Amino acid sequence: MGKPTGFIEYQREVPVEMAPLMRISHWKEFAVPMPEENLRTQGARCMDCGIPFCHTGKLISGMASGCPVNNLIPEWNDLVYRGQWREALDRLHKTNNFPEFTGRVCPAPCEGSCTVGLNGSAVTIKNIEKSIIDKGFAEGWVVPNPPKTRTGKKVAVIGSGPSGLACADQLNKAGHTVTVYERSDRVGGLLMYGIPNMKLDKTYVQRRVDLMKAEGVTFVTGTEIGKDIPAAQIKEQNDAVVLCGGATNGRDLKIEGRELKGVHLAMEFLSKNTKSLLDSAHQNGAHISAEGKDVIVIGGGDTGTDCVGTSIRHKCRSVTQFEIMPRPADTRQPNNPWPEWPRVYKMDYGQEEAAALQGEDPRKYLINTKKFVGDENGHIKELHTVLIEWKKDDQGRFVPAEVPGSEKVYPAQLVLLAMGFIGPEHTVLDQLGVEKDERTNAKAEYDKFATNVEGVFAAGDMRRGQSLVVWAINEGRGAAREVDRYLMGSSNLP
């Protein structure tokens, strides 16, 4: 620990961001890199405490607390403070295959469990992580490192999202011959098409994919297993198969008027937007445009925020976001103690941009949509809503109750449903005979990842349900270790 009093002497400092009204004119990332001197000061704030909850990822009260990939945070914070960036990069890569992704899109549960945050502001762990990997690439330290020998074993990874990429990367390091199958035209899954470019520039995704290719991983795009190639054929041709297809079934809102034109699942909106952006800078007209429209986003979370930010960049007329839950408190409440994830009010980038344009946070809390109403052409024109309050029923469960007289009509020409996901698609699972759990996910025990089918493993959202990118990386690494053990009898993979 290079600076024992750093957390006392220095205040938390986060990267400067381009002003909301400036950044909405483009699709590029908008955080300004922090000078090295400032980063070293921020690294000095880490206490190297005896109880580093930051890197012991656990689920507490159903939420992530600490880093799910067990990043060695105090170690690389101290190395950054000392200016030993190359060593910091080595420590970071020991636990995280893709810090350039998590450093940009992870909500940083590590910071929510930072000991400094008990009585002050947490260490800026996420920004330091991103800065380490960005410097590593800029300095030429991150180069292809293919395995020296091959085992002769072949593994198919189905799905190229964060869990599939992490699994493939680890298995390739162990010397296995790995092929990743992706049904889209580009590799990356959620990282490529589910997250907007201003939040995760796709050049960073492609850069890592190119690195994995140079190390020997084969990627097959535009190929849907179960449709273009039977799942049984993939199993026959490989010594092991890992299912990393994600939880791609979006939660729908089946109310009156759902069939109207202009009502879309959020991922359809976001994925088409990014594909059109990458293919033609939106010139091919293949995206769902919010330009000139009153947009309603139903649902909160990161996906809802991404819909808000994307709609604004389309130059929508207005954007409103509905949340059925109450507004979070401004500070931690007694029932949400450290090191739990802090359930507190915050404005993410999309809400900041909407507020800059419209003068207020676009979110409306404790609101429920009753029906969609269309015009004479079958296109959405308005939403009928009612406010709700949460009350306990006869069995002590909290249920929504309508507030009499709170009905309201909102104009809308585009409605985006961002209410999460209900599980994976079942084509491959059914073709292979993989058992499902009570939530329709692939049934496989955590830390084992083996399904009921010999040689078939499952990881990521397809196994655990919708979750964070960092949990997907955790699962991909864990599944790789168990596949390696299955193939070789033992494993040295972490």
Residue 340 has pLDDT above 80, yes or no: yes
Residue 1 has pLDDT above 70, yes or no: no
- Residue entry with tokens 């939660």: 251
pLDDT tens column, 159-180: 999 999 999 999 999 999 999 9
pLDDT tens column, 176-189: 999 999 999 999 99
Q: Mean pLDDT lowest for which of 32-41, 49-58, 380-389, 410-419?
A: 49-58
Q: What is the mean pLDDT of residues 35-46?
A: 96
AA letter at 448: K
pLDDT tens column, 121-132: 999 999 999 999
Burial of 382-391, coded b for 16+ CB within 10 Å and e otherwise, reads bbbbbbbeee
pLDDT tens column, 370-396: 999 999 999 999 999 999 999 999 998
CATH of 154-248+422-488 among 3.60.20.10, 3.40.50.2300, 1.10.357.10, 3.50.50.60: 3.50.50.60
Nearest residue to 473 (alpha-carbon basis) of 63, 163, 109: 163
Fold match, 154-248+422-488 / 252-419: yes
Would you state the pLDDT for residue 50?
81
The domain segmentation of the chain, as residue ranges, is 6-138, 154-248+422-488, 252-419
CATH of 252-419 among 3.40.50.150, 3.40.50.720, 3.50.50.60, 3.90.650.10: 3.50.50.60
Q: Mean pLDDT lowest for which of 34-38, 115-119, 254-258, 387-391?
A: 115-119
**Is the distance from CB of 320 to CB of 295 less than 8 angstroms?**
yes
Nearest residue to 202 (alpha-carbon basis) of 325, 28, 58, 373: 28
Nearest residue to 121 (alpha-carbon basis) of 47, 67, 181, 232: 47
Would you state the pLDDT for residue 49?
87
* CATH entry 3.40.50.720 includes domain 6-138: no
DSSP letter assigned to residue 388: E
pLDDT tens column, 428-443: 999 999 999 999 999 9
DSSP letter assigned to residue 34: P
